[in-house]
Structure formats: C-alpha cells, structure tokens
Amino acid sequence: MFSFGANDSGWAGKQQGIELSESIANARSILSQAKQLYPILMVSPPPCGDNQILANLSQEFALVCNELDVAYLDVFSSLLKSPIWLAEAKANDGAHPKADGYAEFAAIVQNWEAWLNWFTP
C-alpha cells in the first residue's frame, strides 16, 4: 500500500521541495518496481494546506496508476468534502485531524473494493 505526495506539496508553509514532474516520475518508478515484486495499491494524499497543488498531484497519480494498472483510491476528493476531516485538521496543525477524521479516512479505505480484494487469494 502506497500513499505519498502531501509533503511534496509544501503543505507546512515551506517551499515545495519537489516539482510536480519529479513527484510523478518518482511515483512511476516506485510503483513500477514494487509491482514486479508484490501486489500493490495506492491511496491519494489527503487534503491539507494548498489543496490545489494536492488536487493536481492526486489527478496525476491517478493517471500513473491507470497507466501501470495499479488500483488507486482518491481519498482527496472525499475528504475535501468532509466537514469532520477539515475542521479537525484546521483545529490541529492544518493537516492532521484527530481520531474522528482518521476514522473517516479509514472507512473510505475499508469500503474500497480493491482493498477488500487484496486480502482474497
């Protein structure tokens, strides 16, 4: 299970250290290599900080996963509509919610068909 990219966006108010093209190339490389060894899944970064950058990153990761035939779950779009996720993240550090926000995240993953099938031989 892979999920990366939020820190690439500079959500903590820091300058983005990795350009979008480099994030996409890194994802493609990591997923391509891992797929040769194991069954893999990928989850998008959740909303935090500059959500436009993360929306773009999530969309690009979805394209890479489609290209590589890797199951991809877009939690970004779902959590961006979640008042619980957004309120808890804002009240905490701007990115990380408390337990109820993570419970919403977990419920999205737990209801994902690819996740459920991952455990079926």
Q: Which residues contact 76 (CB under 8 A, 6 or more apart)?
A: 44, 45, 46, 47, 51, 54, 55, 58
Residue 17 confidence (pLDDT) above 70: no
When pLDDT is averaged across residues 42-67 and rounded to a whole number, the result is 90
When pLDDT is averaged across residues 60-68 and rounded to a whole number, the result is 97
- Which structural domains are found in the chain, ordered by start? 7-118 (3.40.50.1110)
State residue 20's pLDDT score.
82
Residue 65 confidence (pLDDT) above 70: yes
Percent of the chain residues past pLDDT 90, beyond the cut: 64
Residue 76 confidence (pLDDT) above 60: yes
State residue 51's pLDDT score.
79
Q: Which of 53-57, 69-73, 117-121 has the lowest average pLDDT?
A: 117-121
pTM, entire model: 0.89
Tens digits of residue pLDDT in 36-51: 999 999 999 999 866 7
- Amino acid letter, residue 41: L
CB 78 within 8 A of CB 55: no
C-alpha distances (whole Å) from 10 to each of 41, 50, 51 are 24, 8, 10
